[in-house]
């Protein structure tokens, strides 16, 4: 898969930080199974001292922060540690769910090798607020506000509410097809019908944090093409 140049992903940059709109299917850091291309390597080619301040799952798109110097890295890392960074995600979930500042407060245990579970005894504190933004016949667009930053936190918290993210097979999601929402839609029997989106529908829409000079900034990341197209199809055929 061909990805844009790092400079074309940048949505904010100053002397201290770079914020990019991460494409789906591009890893944040080196993966266990190798692979040369990831955002941290790309960032270091662009700026030698670049350090990644947090991570997004490989399939997740959206706002990702890099520090350009050690002072900025310490500043932003401390904000993440003290839950001072406000993160806003958008997700499309299966079914109709009315979330009005719904808090899911369920501890998450990391089992290793990319697997986590809800564990009330051994798990670490994990809190996420959810708000429904738009209702469709078969889906709901939701805003996700994680207060902590556990692995797969939003994904597993939604699954506990029987509201799996679309196409998130690890947590019970299914791959939606156009034939399921468009009346009379027919596709060639010689070809397998493609899903409406080929990865779980989760996007890091916005991030708010303080720069080393104490200025607070909010950076918004537009939906990537696949997510935007999925929403347009739902607007047209599932409203």
**pLDDT tier for residue 3 given thresholds of 50, 70 and 90:** confident
Looking at residue 103, its pLDDT comes to 98
Would the pLDDT of 105 be above 70? Answer: yes
pLDDT digits (tens, 9 = 90+) for 45-77: 999 999 999 999 999 999 999 999 999 999 999
Contact 145, 87 (CB under 8 A): yes
Would the pLDDT of 227 be above 80? Answer: yes
pLDDT exceeding 90 applies to what percent of the chain? 87
Domain extent, residue 117, equals: 6-237
Of the given ranges (29-38, 115-124, 201-210), which has the lowest mean pLDDT?
Answer: 29-38
Greatest alpha-carbon span in the chain: 60
30 is a domain residue: yes
**pLDDT tier for residue 33 given thresholds of 50, 70 and 90:** low
User: Distance between CA atoms of 134 and 143, rounded to whole angstroms?
Assistant: 10
The model's pTM is 0.95
Would the pLDDT of 35 be above 70? Answer: no
138 is a domain residue: yes
Would the pLDDT of 34 be above 80? Answer: no
Helix (H) or strand (E) holding 159, with range, is helix 153-160
232 is a domain residue: yes
**pLDDT tier for residue 32 given thresholds of 50, 70 and 90:** low
**pLDDT tier for residue 192 given thresholds of 50, 70 and 90:** confident
Looking at residue 5, its pLDDT comes to 94
Please compute the mean of the pLDDT values over residues 175-180 and round it to a whole number: 91
1 is a domain residue: no
Looking at residue 187, its pLDDT comes to 72
Structure tokens, 108: 């998450």
**pLDDT tier for residue 1 given thresholds of 50, 70 and 90:** confident
User: Would you please indicate which residues are annotated as catalytic (active-site) residues?
Assistant: 57
Q: Across the chain, where does the E strand assignment appear?
A: 10-13, 17-22, 51-52, 61-67, 86-94, 102-105, 108-112, 115-118, 127-135, 139-146, 202-210, 216-220
Domain count for the chain: 1
Looking at residue 30, its pLDDT comes to 86
Q: What is the DSSP letter of 176?
A: -
Contact 98, 132 (CB under 8 A): yes
Question: Higher confidence at residue 60 or residue 1?
Answer: 60
User: Distance between CA atoms of 160 and 54, rounded to whole angstroms?
Assistant: 25
pLDDT digits (tens, 9 = 90+) for 122-159: 999 999 999 999 999 999 999 999 999 999 999 999 99
User: Distance between CA atoms of 147 and 83, rounded to whole angstroms?
Assistant: 6
Residue at token pair 């303080």: 210
Residue 78 sits in a domain whose CATH number is 3.30.2350.10
142 is a domain residue: yes
Please compute the mean of the pLDDT values over residues 9-27 and round it to a whole number: 97
Mean pLDDT for the chain overall? 95
């Amino acid at each position: 898969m061909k990805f844009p140049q790092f400079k074309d992903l940048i949505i904010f940059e100053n002397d201290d930080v770079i914020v990019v709109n991460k494409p789906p299917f591009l890893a944040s850091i080196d993966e266990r199974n190798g692979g040369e291309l990831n955002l941290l390597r790309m960032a270091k080619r662009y700026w030698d001292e670049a350090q990644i301040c947090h991570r997004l799952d490989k399939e997740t798109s959206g706002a990702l922060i890099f520090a350009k110097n050690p002072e900025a890295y310490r500043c932003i890392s401390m904000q993440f540690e003290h839950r001072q960074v406000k993160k806003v995600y958008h997700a499309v979930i299966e079914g109709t769910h009315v979330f009005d500042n719904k808090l899911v407060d369920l501890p998450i245990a990391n089992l290793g090798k990319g697997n986590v579970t809800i564990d009330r005894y051994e798990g670490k504190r994990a809190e996420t607020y959810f708000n429904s933004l738009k209702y469709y016949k078969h889906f709901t667009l939701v805003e996700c506000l994680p207060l902590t930053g556990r692995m797969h936190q939003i994904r597993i918290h939604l699954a506990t509410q029987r509201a799996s993210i679309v196409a998130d097979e690890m947590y019970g999601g299914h791959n939606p097809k156009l034939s399921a929402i468009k009346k009379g839609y027919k596709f060639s029997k010689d070809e397998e019908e493609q899903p409406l989106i080929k990865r779980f529908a989760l996007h890091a829409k916005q991030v708010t944090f303080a720069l080393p000079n104490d200025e607070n900034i909010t950076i918004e990341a537009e939906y990537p093409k696949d997510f935007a197209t999925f929403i347009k199809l739902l607007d047209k055929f599932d409203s």
